[in-house]
Structures are given as C-alpha cells and as structure tokens.
Amino acid sequence: MDDVPKQKYHVRDLGTRSVNLFPTRAEVFRDIKDVQLKSGPNQIILVGLSPTVDEQSIKVEGTGPAIITDIAVQLLPNRDIFQDIYPDSDDEESDSDSGSDEDYGDHEDSGELKALREQICLLRDEEKSAKEIVASAETRLKILDDYSRMLTTYRKDQAAPSIEEGVETYRTERVKVFRDHMNGMIKSREISKKMDGLTKEENRLIKQADKEKAKALKMKAKRLREKAMVIEKGTRRKREMLQERLRIRKERESFWPRNVDTVKISLDVTNFTPITSRHNSMASDTVEAVPDKASEQGESDASTISCDLSVSYVTTHAYWAPSYDLALSTTSNSGHLCFDSRLTNMTSETWSNCKVILSTSQTDFSRLNDTIPTLVPWRVRLAGKGSSGAYTDIMYSRDEQSHKAGWNEQTFRHSQKPRSDMFGVDGPYTTGSLFGQLPANNRGTEGLQRVQTNNQPQSTGFGVANIQSSAGALFGFGTTARPAPPPAAPVSRRSDVYSLEIPETEVNCDEDEGYSASFIEPQPELAFQDSTFEETGFTSTYDLPGLKTLAPSSTVSKQRVARVTFTSVSFSHTVVAKYKPVAFLKAKLRNGSNLTLLKGQTGLTLDVTFMGRTTLPRCSPGDTFTLSLGVDPAIQVAYPKPQVKRSQSGLFSKEDGVHYTRAITLSNTRSGSKGKPVQLTVLGQIPVSEDERLRIDILHPRGLVVGSVGVGAGVPGREGKEEKDWGKAVAQLKKDGEVSWDVTLNAGRMVKLDLEYECAFPAGDHVVNV
C-alpha cells in the first residue's frame, strides 16, 4: 500500500453542507470537492473528526467514475499542535505611555530677580566703601586728638612745639576729616535708602517666584497623577486583555481533542468508458454520474480523473432544545409566544456557513412547583363506645392538617438562593475524557447530561456502515442501508407568524383597576426571519433561514424559529381554601397555528410583569393546553375556623348529632371601570362515612345530591344595596364528598359561600378520621 497515491484532508479545511440537530445528537454533512484520482487504487485520508462521532454512522458517497473498495475508521491521538493552530498573539501594545518625562527640577529665578540681586550686591559694595570712609575719618580724628594732646604735653628735655603751627595743622586736618566723614555718612544713608527699596522689591519678586514655583509643582503633581492614571489604565487594560486571552485559551483547550477519528477511504479507478456509452452497465442506486466532467477529464488527462465526495456522520455533544417566551394579557385575553431554539455544539468541530435543520424527538422536562392541590376523599369512621374523643376531632381532615402545616411553613419561610450560587468566579477546570479541559460549572454540559439522562438513544433512521465489507457498488459501500429519505412529496408548510395586537385603549396599572397595563403608542419592532416548518409522520423539522456557523462553545446560541399569537385566551381561578387560602390563576390557550409546540421551558410575562419560568406542554395544531400562573393576589380568600355545635334529634333519641358550619369568603379587589368579573372554581368537601351507623347530611346549600345539575349558592359578603349584585354561584356535589362551586364574582364585590352538614351517630360514640 506504500505505492498507492494518498491524499490527506483535515476536517477543519472541509466545507459543511448542512447540520441536522436532534435533541440528543447531530448529523453533519461535509463535502470534499474536486478530488484528483489516478488510475488504479487511491486512498483518501480524512483526519480531525471529533471523538464524539459515532464510528458506525460514518457514510461516504459522491459523484464520479470510481469504486469505493474499503472504509476504515480509527481513533488516533491528535497529531496537531495546539500552539500551531491557536498561536499566541505577539502584537502586544507598545508602551506609548512611557514618553519623555518633563524635568520638574528646581525652579530657576527670573531675569528681573537676578538683575535686582546684582544691583543689591553693587549697593552692598558701595555701602562697604562708604562705611570704610566713615571709619577712616573716625580713626584720623582720633589721631588728631592725640596730636592736640601732644602739643600741651611734652618733656623738659624737648623743645616746645609751635602752638600756632600745631593748631593750624590740627584745624586743617580736622576739616578734611570732617568732610570725609560727612561724605561717607551721606553716601551710606543714600545707599541704605536704595537698599530698603531694592530689598522690598526682592521680597516681592521672591514671593512671586514662590507662587510660580508652587504652581509649577502643583502642575507637575497633576501631570504625574494623570500619567500614573494612564499607566494604571494601560496596565488594567493589558491585564483584562490577558485574562480574556486566557479565557479564550481555556475555552479552546476545553474543546481540544486528545484523540480524533481518522477515516481512510480506499477507491479504485479502473478503465472506464464515457457514461453515454454505458447504457447497459450495472450501477448502484447511489451513483450520480457526471458525464461532462468525466469526458473533459478523460480528454485532458487519461490517467487522472476528478470526483466529489460527501461524508456524513452522527455525533453526540451537539443538540438543540426549544425555548419560549410567552406574554399574556388579561385585558385583551390574548397571548404572544416567541419560539426560539437553543443550539449547542460541544464537539471539537466548527461547522461554518452551513444550513441548520432542527428535528424533534421525545424529550422530558421538569414539572412545575407549587401545583394546584387535589382534594383527597375525607373518610371518617366510628371510634367505638368507651373510646376517648371530642366532637372537634373531625373538624379537619388529615390531609387538610398536613397541607395547612406545609402552607404555613411556605408562607412564612423567605428562602433565597445564596448569593455565592449566583455570583462569583467559576470553579476550577476538570479534565474531561474526550477533550483537554472543561469548565466544571458548565451549563451546556448540564443540559447535555440532562438530555442524555432523560432520553434513551433512539433510532435516528441512519444506516450502519459495514466497515469490513469490500463490495464494489459505485459510491455505495456494500449493502449498507442509507437513511431513509423523506417522502417524495412532503407538504412543506410555512409556520404561521402572528403579531401581538396591543389594545389602543389606555389601561391603568393600579391594583384597584385589576390586571391592566398602560401602553404607549407601539413602535415598529425588529423583524426576525421565520423558519420553514415541515411535519413528516411523527417528526417535525424546522429549517433555520440563511447559513449559520456553529463553533464549539460552552454557551448556547439562540435562534428564532417562529412567533405565534393566541387569541381568546381563557383565564380562570381555582380555590382550595381548606388547604391553601389563595386563588390560583390559570390560562387556557388554543394553538391556532400550523406549528407543533414542543415541550420546553418558557419565560412567562403577565400584563407586562415578568412572572418567572414554567414548562410549556407539547401542543399540536388545533389543540389546547393549560398553564398555571401562580397565585392571584387580587382575589382574597378568607377561611375562618369551622363552627361546631352539638344537637340531638329528640329528647328520647338514641342518636347524637354534631352540626358543622364552614364558610369561604371571596373578595374581588379589582374595582373601577376597568374591573371585570372573574370566573372561579371553589373546591370544598364533607366527610365520607365508612360506617352505616354514621350518617352525614348536607344542610346547606339545600338540595345537593351527587349527580345533580347544581343549586344556587352564595350570599353577599358585605351589607349594602350595591353588594347584592355580587354575581352568581352554582354548587355541585361530586363523589367522595367533594363540593364544587362555579362562581362568577363581579369586580369590587364579595361573596360568602356556606357549607353546613350534620353528623349523626349512635349515642356514646364519637367520630374520628381514618
């Protein structure tokens, strides 16, 4: 086999024609265009298939004059290098913020201050000269004084000096000394005066210079702060970019396969004649001849031909699930449903620019919490004579007591999900069996586990490739069964798309005005492309518009499938006061479109208020379904403690009797011109006797018997003329002691429903719950 021509293709370089998504898996169709084959045996190697691919589902077919002789699938280690496929980014941002720092050193004195200080220095020199003149004059004066004393004090052996000459000399020299002294003093005063002026000017200039220096230092500090902020911002940006690169790298690592499936396709190109001359040749039903292409290849190169291959396979870890958003309006009795699809691809392959088709399958979803309770028959019996007990033992049934305890606990318990469960950093990464690493807190994985747990693998309608076979059917590998194609002429139906009509009348959202909402003039909404819906047997398919790209990701891609409007939505209430003194609201909707609604989670909005998420049941076109909308706080329910009194049939009667009175008060707090009557179904019950000696009779409403058409019931809950028009109520007695009232309660009104019954039993006995 070493001399056999081989061609290697990586799955990432192949185009994806289409992807069929199912609730637990996906079928992928890829094309290998213009494969050049030489005469004789050839081998095509396809590498890089996701390890999640089902090996038995791999199919190969194509067009061209060649025969597939063998297909081998092998799981091999991934030879690709992660850094080669996803190289680290080297174009780091240059440090543009490391510019030249301005030199904010010692502030130099101004030229004016320098010139002034030079003048002061010269004046100080002149001042020293003046002081020197004064000092010299004073010294000379002392010398003259010594000279004058010498004229009068001389020794006897010395000749007497001439007084006249000495005095004249003294006078002449003293005049010179005095003149020099005066000149020095005058000059010193002038210099001192100039010095005072220059010193003041110097102080002024120094203060001005200090202010300028302080201002410069302030500007320097400001610029340093700005520079530090720029550096910090750049550092934070780089850190965020690094974290983002690490996140992307971890995301890619989580889908980097440790092993990949490798498909080796062996083909044989034998001598052939043009297709036009082979009318009597035998060919497989999967062959698609391309005569023009073959003839052109044959004319150009007799030893080389060109053909196209198509590879299809089924993979897990890729699926879709329906998602809905339902908006209901009690004012217009209408609803608007957005049908979306949540697409998940957690394989190692990227399917680029391909047609995405959604197909349905059986899927299980979680049930609602806090459902409407169902009345359980209330059974009582005689305890027997001599046993202890009281008439209040059967004031409440056992189920009523347990529900009351649970309801009270639920009412006063305000449990919230811990914040740590909603916020914070994801946990550490764990090693997966198929890929490198996968986030532990992964919604996509949870969804996959949920789907795989609740759904057993079902037949996909695809044949199994006989890998060891070597039959010679042209592009049809042996007797492998291909997936059954859809019927030849299926009826393709466009899903009906409706628009929600917002009522033009202004609606008050006050509680007294009921379930109403204020709408402004509607603005044009963004349009979505609608999918094509097709139903074949038990399978529904949805062709998403345009071409999509599904890359491996732990997040879910959401695509719009269709929009449906419900008209004439029926809202009703159910009250089981003895278990929970509240009114449960529910809506009954009819699917008037040609679209089959699949079971799935839906976001519920009631009168522009988001209520939460619930489960939408599967509903075929033309069918109806009911959704529970929780508790309606506008309908107030009062269920006081039952009244009990003992009675006897007669003075000499051997029977005891206990008279019980129960009352349910309903109040429709919606009032005003916008209020409207509400329909309520109120459920109650009386005990059911399991002893023929225990007789239980209904006293009020009168005439209640099992199977009757019902009797009128109810009285106004308040006094007043206007309270008489509260509505109407019809009571019926069903089996197992269940009493049902069908009530129509007008807005702002209150009704009281009474239920009175009597238990009669032999004297000395008492009644207990079973």
**Whether residue 391 sits in one domain with residue 275:** no
**Whether residue 723 sits in one domain with residue 575:** yes
User: How large is the average pLDDT for residues 594-612?
Assistant: 89
**pTM higher than 0.85, yes or no?**
no
**Whether residue 273 sits in one domain with residue 142:** no
**What is d(CA 195, CA 188) in angstroms, rounded to the nearest whole number?**
10
> What pLDDT does residue 202 have?
82
291 assigned to some structural domain: yes
DSSP secondary structure letters along 78-132: --S-HHHHSPPP--PPP-TT--PPP---SPPPPHHHHHHHHHHHHHHHHHHHHHH
> What pLDDT does residue 326 have?
94
**Whether residue 280 sits in one domain with residue 202:** no
> What pLDDT does residue 741 have?
93
81 assigned to some structural domain: yes
> What pLDDT does residue 623 have?
93
Contact 283, 311 (CB under 8 A): no
Question: 705 is in which domain, residue-wise?
Answer: 368-411+569-579+626-770
**Whether residue 735 sits in one domain with residue 672:** yes
Domain stops at, among 238, 254, 270: 254
User: In this predicted model, what pLDDT tens digit does every residue of 515-558 receive, in sequence order?
Assistant: 333 334 445 555 555 566 676 666 778 888 889 999 998 889 88
Contact 247, 63 (CB under 8 A): no
**Whether residue 707 sits in one domain with residue 688:** yes
> What's the one-letter identity of residue 159?
A
Q: Before 457, cis peptide (omega within 30)?
A: no
**What is d(CA 196, CA 193) in angstroms, rounded to the nearest whole number?**
5
Quickly state the pLDDT bin for 155 (edges 50, 70, 90). Answer: low
User: How large is the average pLDDT for residues 327-340?
Assistant: 91
**Whether residue 233 sits in one domain with residue 180:** yes
Domain stops at, among 254, 273, 293: 254
Greater model confidence, 386 or 739: 739
Please give the share of the chain, as a percent, with pLDDT higher than 70.
71
302 assigned to some structural domain: yes
428 assigned to some structural domain: no
Quickly state the pLDDT bin for 8 (edges 50, 70, 90). Answer: very high
444 assigned to some structural domain: no
**Whether residue 266 sits in one domain with residue 125:** no
**Whether residue 78 sits in one domain with residue 10:** yes
**Whether residue 706 sits in one domain with residue 755:** yes
Print burial letters for 19-45: b (CB count within 10 Å at least 16), e (below 16): bbbbbbbbbbbbebeebebebebbbbe
**Whether residue 270 sits in one domain with residue 205:** no
Domain stops at, among 254, 278, 293: 254
**Whether residue 714 sits in one domain with residue 574:** yes
What are 444's strand-pairing partners?
A: none
**What is d(CA 589, CA 586) in angstroms, rounded to the nearest whole number?**
10
Instruction: Select the highest-mean-pLDDT range: 73-82, 161-170, 230-239.
Output: 230-239
Tokens 């005005």 sit on residue: 513
Average pLDDT over all residues of the chain: 76
Question: How many structural domains are present in the chain?
Answer: 3
477 assigned to some structural domain: no
CA distances from 85 to 13, 350, 553, 556 (A): 12, 13, 17, 24
Quickly state the pLDDT bin for 444 (edges 50, 70, 90). Answer: very low
564 assigned to some structural domain: no
Asked if pLDDT for residue 492 goes beyond 50, the answer is no
457 assigned to some structural domain: no
